Amino acid sequence: MVANSNFLYPQTRYYGEVKPENLVFNANLQEFSQRVGYISSLTSNGKISVEQAFTQIQALWEEVEKSKKQLGIGENPFSA
């Protein structure tokens, strides 16, 4: 039987270079994607306004950018 958490918060497989910072950033991106999906659904159903959705998505994106910077993703692509 499928667990409720797997249904509500699905995680896809990571195919990139396996490093801790990459795995954390991948998880952050998946969470961002999931939350944007919920926000867009709420907007489509009239539960929140487009302005509220934009503000929430913008805040989520800023969190993703902040985590990317903190984790050092993409800073030195040629290091091993």
Convert the chain into a string of H (helix), E (strand) and C (coil): CCCHHHHHCCCCCCCCCCCHHHHHHHHHHHHHHHHHHHHHHHHHCCCCCHHHHHHHHHHHHHHHHHHHHHHCCCCCCCCC
Q: What is the pLDDT of residue 7?
A: 57
Q: What is the pLDDT along the chain (80 residues), one digit of tens a residue?
A: 556 666 555 667 878 888 889 999 999 999 999 999 999 999 999 999 999 999 999 999 999 999 999 999 887 766 65
Q: What is the pLDDT of residue 62?
A: 98
Q: What is the pLDDT of residue 40?
A: 96
